[in-house]
């Protein structure tokens, strides 16, 4: 519990400080008999307004929600379990939720998402969470999250070191869920819909293969040349759902490419867009929150790398160069003319080593920036 006395700080500083203190008290040691970090029973904030402290508590709890989901063991946090967590949170905070099971996904022709899920014993889910804080006639902002609850790489099998942190390949979906909960608790005057595509990418006799050609919900066909480029296949169908359901603008969050980490390191989110003004709004919000982002180009020439001789698209570029951008160019095919920003959070969403202010594991990055953006839009 947090208490405030004597309003001397500005509210933005207070909220950020409270959020940071709450995140700093929680660790990834969910299964240790003796925890390394211990949560304070009470915190006293001098020179802070009650409202700012309350908002900071909400942000801190939602950042920690994202971190807990990411830090959970992958055999526990399956697609079905994630959907159950989302349903419980929606019931608790009064959010509208819709969960598509495997049969509904087949009815909706989500062929790309279903192909990725085929190799796993755990069935896929598509979770939609709606928050209406504005006039019903206002078209919602769509937040789309990649939710690969574990990524083995499929037949393009990852080496052991690269697979160790793949329980965090659902950080995009976790961030979307945490953001929707925060928007509802803060009562932001904006309409937001979160879409989370949930799968496991595993190897089995029925797993999708190199050389397969998939048909996406949009209708575009996709040649598979790397089963470890699975997140873009999931997002292709989920982005199409968001567009077809009337989203005005879109932001997707995904641990999409190691190439983005090569380009920007592990602390910076890469942004790519089809609409500069929309991207500028997200950049401004991230700068306000102190979350480092950097925009990468989306030159038309990059699309040539994902042109296929046997299908409409192939799921990886001709070479490894510019891999973060070719991944974004692939996704661009599924957003139509809607303003869209792709946020590649592969680096900052999971810290392999503890920092002075945050334990290792899931970080909850970009949640505060998204809330700042939604606040300004409202």
Under the banding of pLDDT at 50, 70 and 90, the label for residue 167 is very high
SS3 (DSSP) at 214: strand
CA distance 126 to 198: 6
Sheet with 313-314, strands from edge to edge, namely 213-215, 221-223, 313-314
Q: What is the pLDDT of residue 48?
A: 83
143: confidence class by pLDDT, cuts 50, 70, 90: very high
The answer on pLDDT for 7 being more than 70 is no
d(CA 196, CA 147): 6
Question: Is 0.85 surpassed by the pTM of this model?
Answer: yes
Distance CA 344, CA 293 (A): 10
Residue 2 scores a pLDDT above 90: no
Options 3.40.630.10, 3.40.50.2300, 1.10.40.50, 3.40.50.620; CATH for 74-377 is 3.40.630.10
Q: What is the mean pLDDT of residues 7-35?
A: 88
pLDDT at 4: 55
pLDDT at 148 over 60: yes
Contact 344, 256 (CB under 8 A): yes
Q: Please provide residue 199's backbone torsions phi and psi, each rounded to the nearest 5 degrees.
A: -145, 165
Q: What pLDDT was estimated at residue 46?
A: 84
Banded model confidence at residue 1, pLDDT cuts 50, 70, 90: low
Residues serving a catalytic function are 158, 232
For residue 377, the tally of other CB atoms under 10 A from its CB is 16
- Taken in order 375, 376, 377, 378, the sign of the CA dihedral is positive
Looking at residue 35, what is its pLDDT? 87
Question: Rounded to whole angstroms, how far apart are CA atoms 212 and 97?
Answer: 33
42: confidence class by pLDDT, cuts 50, 70, 90: confident
Contact indicator for 342, 272 with CB cutoff of 8 Å: yes
Output the pLDDT for position 140: 96
Per-residue model confidence (pLDDT) at position 39: 84
Structural domain boundaries of the chain?
A: 1-71, 74-377
Q: What angle do CA 337, 189, 12 make, to 5 degrees?
A: 105
Q: How confident is the model at residue 5 (pLDDT cuts 50, 70, 90)?
A: low
Per-residue model confidence (pLDDT) at position 233: 98
**Residues pairing with 269 in the sheet:** 293
| pLDDT 10s digits, 303-345 | 999 999 999 999 999 888 999 999 999 999 999 999 999 999 9
% of residues, the chain, pLDDT over 90: 89
Among 30-44, 180-194, 344-358, which is the least confidently predicted range?
Answer: 30-44
């Amino acid at each position: 519990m947090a208490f405030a006395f004597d309003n001397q700080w500005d509210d933005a500083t207070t909220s950020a400080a409270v959020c940071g203190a709450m995140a700093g008290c929680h660790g990834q040691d969910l299964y240790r008999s003796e925890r390394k970090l211990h949560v304070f029973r009470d915190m006293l904030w001098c020179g802070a307004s009650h409202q700012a402290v309350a908002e900071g508590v909400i942000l801190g709890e939602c950042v920690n929600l994202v971190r807990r989901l990411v830090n959970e063991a992958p055999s526990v946090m399956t697609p079905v379990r994630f959907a159950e967590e989302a349903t419980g949170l929606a019931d608790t905070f009064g959010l509208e939720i819709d969960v598509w099971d495997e049969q509904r996904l087949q009815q909706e022709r989500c062929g790309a998402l279903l192909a990725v899920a085929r190799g796993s014993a755990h069935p896929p889910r598509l979770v939609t969470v709606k928050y209406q804080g504005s006039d019903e006639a206002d078209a919602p902002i769509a937040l789309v999250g990649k939710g690969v609850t574990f990524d083995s790489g499929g037949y393009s099998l990852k080496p052991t070191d690269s697979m160790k942190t793949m329980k965090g390949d659902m950080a995009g979906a976790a961030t979307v869920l945490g953001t929707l909960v925060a928007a509802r608790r803060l009562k932001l005057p904006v309409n937001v819909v979160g879409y989370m595509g949930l799968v496991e990418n595993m190897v089995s006799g029925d797993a999708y293969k190199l050389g397969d050609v998939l048909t996406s919900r949009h209708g575009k066909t996709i040649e598979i040349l790397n089963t470890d480029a699975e997140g873009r296949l999931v997002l292709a169908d989920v982005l199409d759902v968001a567009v077809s359901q009337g989203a005005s603008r879109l932001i997707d969050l995904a641990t999409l490419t190691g190439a983005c980490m090569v380009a920007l390191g592990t602390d910076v989110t890469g942004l790519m867009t089809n609409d500069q003004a929309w991207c500028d709004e997200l950049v401004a919000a991230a700068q306000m929150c102190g979350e480092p982002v950097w925009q990468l180009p989306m030159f038309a020439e990059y699309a040539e790398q994902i042109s296929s001789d046997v299908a409409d698209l192939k799921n990886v570029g001709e070479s490894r160069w510019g891999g973060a951008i070719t991944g974004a160019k692939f996704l661009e095919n599924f957003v139509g003319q809607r303003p869209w920003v792709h946020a590649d959070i592969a680096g900052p969403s999971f810290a392999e080593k503890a920092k002075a202010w945050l334990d290792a594991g899931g970080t909850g990055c970009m949640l505060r920036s998204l809330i700042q953006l939604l606040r300004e839009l409202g």
